[in-house]
Amino acid sequence: MASMIVDASEFSPEQHIIYTRPKANAAGGKSVGILNTLSKKALYIHSPLMMTWGAAEFEGNGKFDMSLQFPREEFTNLATTQFLKVLTEFENKIKKDARTNSRDWFGKQSLSEDVVEALFSPMLKYRKDQKTGEPDKTSMPTLKVKLPVWDGKYNFELFDTQNNRLIPNENGATLPLLIPKGCEVACILMCGGIWFANGKFGLTWKAYQIVVKPTESLKKGECHIKLNITDTPLRVDPTLTEPTYDSDGEGEPVTQAKVQTDIPTNTVTSQEQAAEVPEVVEEKPKVKVSKKKGN
């Protein structure tokens, strides 16, 4: 089983793939299978954990796909960098081999590099430059992955990070709910081979297994503050503490808290009271003096 799945970090397009003979399909196109050289069976690649834009239904017809987003340079890591590198090499090999196999694949004696480039539909999708209309290779691309669902039946497996199967489920959760926009996924991708239709050709990938890692966020209504009991306690002004008593009953002095206040007191001293009470002076009775008339 291990030889059937190639890790993205070890994948080499020049060493790990072989082609089958072209095969016509009912839609009028044709396809070329791609096999693992070691197992001689379908090619499976283990992708790194990557952000996805979520599961999307194609025009409401029950067909789903998702796009894996390669991270910007400041968020990239060795695994995603290597995955992008080998997929770019894979595209280049397909285009080179298209010229070598032009008779079998296109019914043409030969094809120029420019013609192959014009016919090729890249699996790595870059945003377009608004001025030139050409792919902006300074941006990071996406990789589209089909989520095979036929007649309402899931033909791939979906798990959470605890390896619990998410499909099928009893609560009726749909793929857009199970693989929401912004979540991260790691996948076993099966190469669907090369398709030829309407004068174009390209490569497809299908999900075989997916593990979904939900987007991390803080839940509202749940306290996330954690107190550390080993932290140094706050320093408290000793003058504001309550009286302390010795627990052994030896009657040690009690330290009474001092209470400071700016409120003026109404205490009046005895001197102030004496100053405010008016002094009572006892008046002597007046003596009436009468004058005698002369004889």
Q: Is residue 59 part of a domain?
A: yes
**Spatial contact of 158 and 25, defined as CB atoms under 8 Å apart:** no
pLDDT at 260: 52
Residue tagged 């398709």 (tokens): 195
Cα–Cα dist 204/58, whole Å: 16
Q: Across the strands, what pairs with 19?
A: 34
Extended strands (E) in the chain: 5-7, 17-19, 23-24, 30-32, 34-36, 44-46, 50-52, 56-57, 64-69, 120-121, 124-125, 142-147, 149-150, 153-154, 157-160, 184-197, 200-213
Predicted TM-score (pTM) above 0.75: no
Q: Is residue 186 part of a domain?
A: yes
**Spatial contact of 115 and 200, defined as CB atoms under 8 Å apart:** no
pLDDT at 16: 93
**Spatial contact of 65 and 143, defined as CB atoms under 8 Å apart:** no
Domain extent for 151: 2-213
pLDDT at 41: 94
Nearest to 259 by CA among 278, 239, 283: 239
**Spatial contact of 114 and 39, defined as CB atoms under 8 Å apart:** no
Helix (H) or strand (E) holding 80: helix 78-100
Q: Is residue 189 part of a domain?
A: yes
pLDDT at 248: 56
Q: Is residue 258 part of a domain?
A: no
Cα–Cα dist 72/170, whole Å: 38
CATH number of the structural domain spanning residue 39: 2.40.50
Q: Is residue 78 part of a domain?
A: yes
pLDDT at 140: 96
pLDDT at 295: 44
Q: How many domains does the chain have?
A: 1
pLDDT at 148: 94
pLDDT tens sequence for the chain (295 residues):
557 899 999 999 999 999 999 999 888 889 999 999 999 999 999 999 999 999 998 776 778 999 999 999 899 999 999 999 999 999 999 999 999 999 999 999 999 999 999 999 999 999 999 888 888 989 999 999 999 998 889 999 999 999 999 998 878 888 999 999 999 999 999 999 999 999 999 999 999 999 999 887 788 888 888 887 666 565 656 565 565 555 555 555 555 555 455 545 555 554 554 445 455 555 555 555 555 455 4
Provide the 8-state DSSP code for 4.
G
Q: Is residue 284 part of a domain?
A: no
pLDDT at 266: 52
Q: Is residue 58 part of a domain?
A: yes
Q: Is residue 261 part of a domain?
A: no
Q: Across the strands, what pairs with 5?
A: 44
Cα–Cα dist 19/242, whole Å: 87
Nearest to 53 by CA among 140, 111, 120: 140
Which residues, at least 6 apart from 105, have a Cβ–Cβ distance to it below 8 Å? 22, 32, 98, 194, 196, 201
